C-alpha cells in the first residue's frame, strides 16, 4: 500500500510505504532514487494497525523509482505503484 500526503508549503510530499505485517518476516527496506538505492536507510517498522511501514519525503512532482529489499537479498516490487517494469516500481508524486 502506498499513501501520498498533500504537498507541503515547502513543496514536498510524504510517501508512506506499507506492507501487511504478516508479509514481513524479517527486515525489509524500501530503496530507490530518494536514498541512492541504499539498503537499510528506510527500514519498515511494525505498527499497531497490522502493517509494517516507513515514511519518506520527496519533492512534489517527482518521479520516484523504488523496490523493496527483504531479508536474504530478496527484491520485490509494489503492485500499487503507477508502473512496475524491469527497473522496479515507479510512483509519480
Q: Which of the four pLDDT bands, split at 50, 70 and 90, describes residue 81?
A: very high
Q: Are 28 and 43 a contacting pair, CB within 8 Å?
A: yes
Paired with 68 in beta bridges are: 30, 76
DSSP codes, 31-81 = EEGGGTT-TTSSB-EE-TTSEEEEEEEEETT-EEEEEEEETTTEEE--TTS
| pTM metric for this prediction | 0.92
At 13-72, the pLDDT tens digits run 999 999 998 887 889 999 999 999 999 999 999 999 989 999 999 999 999 999 999 989
Amino acid at each position: 500500500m502506498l499513501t501520498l500526503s498533500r504537498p507541503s508549503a515547502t513543496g514536498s510530499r510524504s510517501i508512506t510505504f506499507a506492507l501487511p505485517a504478516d508479509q514481513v518476516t524479517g527486515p525489509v527496506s524500501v530503496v530507490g532514487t530518494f536514498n541512492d538505492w541504499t539498503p537499510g536507510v528506510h527500514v519498515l517498522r511494525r505498527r499497531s494497525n497490522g502493517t509494517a511501514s516507513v515514511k519518506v519525503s520527496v519533492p512534489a512532482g517527482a518521479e520516484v523509482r523504488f523496490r523493496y529489499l527483504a531479508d536474504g537479498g530478496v527484491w520485490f516490487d509494489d503492485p500499487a505503484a503507477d508502473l512496475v517494469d524491469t527497473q522496479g516500481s515507479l510512483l509519480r508524486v
